[in-house]
Amino acid sequence: MAPTVTPSAKWIAQRTRQNAKGILRRRMAQLKAWRRFWDSYRRYSELPDSNASLEFLYPCLGDDTGTTPVEPTYFFQDAWAFEKIVAAHPERHIDVGSHHRFVSFLSKVVPTTMVDLRPLQAHMESIGFVEGSILALPFADASLPSVSSICVVEHIGLGRYGDPLDPHGTEKALEELKRVVAPGGDLYVSLPVDDVDREYFNAHRVFTEETLLRMFAPFEIVESRYIYGYDFVAERRPGGGVGCYHLRRPAD
């Protein structure tokens, strides 16, 4: 039986202060957004021909930013995988658990089947959907020419998405992905990289590149790219980031 871990009073106090500061920052930002909204409404309602009515107010707070907000991980990794797969133009592509927006775009230019534990709420004719687990993919050994699983394997085994709890979930997921790729076939994955292996329970794991090379074997790395904040680069840097890997199974 695993030992019970009890957080220390110091750790609890630190997290409480951090949470309180975060709540205060969000509340202050909301207050400023409401002030901007009411000032904008007042000025608009004073314009000639304005039909601004209190009955039909629809506040959209926080959209008046100086730049277009971007979540860099999905912005870069999805575009990278999309470009690679479209360029390869496989007769059939299988995606396992990646973001539905990425899959929807890809399915418009490459015949794509999506595999996920959770069925899609919306239907799109170009997407073939198969309900299944990354730990037991419904495909024969060495049968698929092109497979992707973007920002997925680092979560497996931590219970976040209803999958079984397993300290070796990531390794098992990668082994299952590799199992179904045909000789000479391509596998596209992304996952967090750092200077040490870490596990953030219920969220994700991070890995050193040395650990990843071991888990990727015997697949070869065709290309690796890295995301560090708003930089998308070809070289590994110190510290935490996201690695995007194009892997290929050796031909028999």
Query: Which domain covers residue 136, as residue numbers?
Result: 72-248
Which tens digits make up the pLDDT trace of 52-110? 888 888 899 888 888 999 999 999 999 999 999 999 999 999 999 999 999 999 999 99
Residue 6 within any structural domain of the chain:
no
Q: Is the pLDDT of residue 115 over 90?
A: yes
- pLDDT by residue (tens digit) across 165-202? 999 999 999 999 999 999 999 999 999 999 999 999 99
Three-state SS for 201?
A: coil
Asked whether 126 and 102 are in contact (CB, 8 A), the reply is: no
- The CATH number assigned to the domain holding 240 equals 3.40.50.150
Within a domain: residue 183?
A: yes
Name, of 33-37, 62-66, 206-210, the range with top average pLDDT: 206-210
Distances (CA, A) of 208 to 195, 196, 246: 5, 5, 17
Quick check: is 93 in a domain? yes
Cβ–Cβ < 8 Å for 99, 150? yes
User: Pairing mode, if any, of strands 241-248 and 181-193?
Assistant: antiparallel
The total of structural domains in the chain comes to 1
Instruction: Tell me the Ramachandran region of residue 218: left when phi exceeds 0, alpha when psi lies from -120 to 50, beta otherwise.
Output: alpha
Tell me the C-alpha distance between 8 and 209, whole Å: 32
Mean pLDDT, rounded, of the chain: 93
Residue 236 located in a structural domain: yes
The larger pLDDT score, comparing residue 44 to residue 150, is at: 150
